[in-house]
Structure 1
């Protein structure tokens, strides 16, 4: 097993030093959390499915010239990605009322929003990722106005594309979270998509029944979380090579 230096470990993924400068290896865990880590569990095979689903979606985004950090999948649980300077914001794109926006605005879940809404949250687990405005973002210099404009444009293009892709699979894209990073190409800085796109950070409902097919099944104790993720992969035509077989992550060295 390759020995790689661990760079970072989050709730669902581990980042290791990559084989080439400017690259990282992103390892998908089976861990699942909710409420900023207050609720924890293990969903066998989740990391395998999320790796494949995110690979599939990132590749298709690349095909329509949306830049991402994804380079290639290495194995069942690992991807080679570009190293980026993460912008400390979560960009949430909402098409249908669900989750926090339904509670905040007194909307019935499942209500189609009058237009796609973009919200921003400051990435800080100790503060429970508070919602912030463009004024906060500018005042604290988390992103320049032109960077935020680029992030919004990429988020809306991504939403339009994913809505169509999921609709063709009988799935409604209710909302999803994106993260962005900065990369430098010579002296030019670019904004690109980072993190992942999977049922962990998307709300996906069956178009006919509104059955949840995402992490809300874990958040709300609905059960059959693994089966829901498998169904998303099945409808997208993704089949892991060895089902839910597990792979150990690379051994970290200090």
Structure 2
């Protein structure tokens, strides 16, 4: 619980930081808005296969999702009124801790800058849930998280089916299982308003890019780690296995201007 408070505190302080450089470090692919570009431009050739803009955005999006959903899991354990909401909260903590481990492993291997703070929109979701009380908390918890997971589910599938990068593909495999699990446990609460949720997924709000993009970490800033719970059942990607899957051979070093996260 001590760690979760540190994560949340950092998120709300960081949410007020300037976002001027954020769009340069990684394009928006977060929250409830989908990207308008194909993202198929190759930005680096790595020994695990070519890395595209969409691949990079996906790694950033998975990390950012954990930075708000992991602490929300602890909030749900504290404030949830129903056993189903508490169970869903446990799944959030477990699943995102494992995904975060994978993200933190592969990001430096691919030279991707990952955030330490969720996007302002995502921080807003946390604030809304912190303010909710009683049964209203359970209802908003189930609907917000069903909506956000449903929004990213198609993106996970697209990355899994199109990426040529072995590490990104392995992360997409893990994310697919995790997101589907989280969608399922939210639905099992019996509180999801499917009409409203599906409408929100197909008609996302038009928000400024600054609201959808997490701030870039300051130079030398210590990376936040989402610690797995003692009863963790989710496991991170076996990086050694992922590195050799598909017989990937080393590719030339990235060309000038193709370095990610600069």
Alignment TM-score > 0.5, same fold: no
Question: Which one has a larger percent strand, Structure 1 or Structure 2?
Answer: 1
**Structure showing greater relative contact order (alpha-carbon pairs closer than 8 Å, 6 or more residues apart):** 2
Q: TM-score scaled to structure 1, two decimals?
A: 0.28
More helix by share: 2
Give the structure-2-normalised TM-score: 0.28
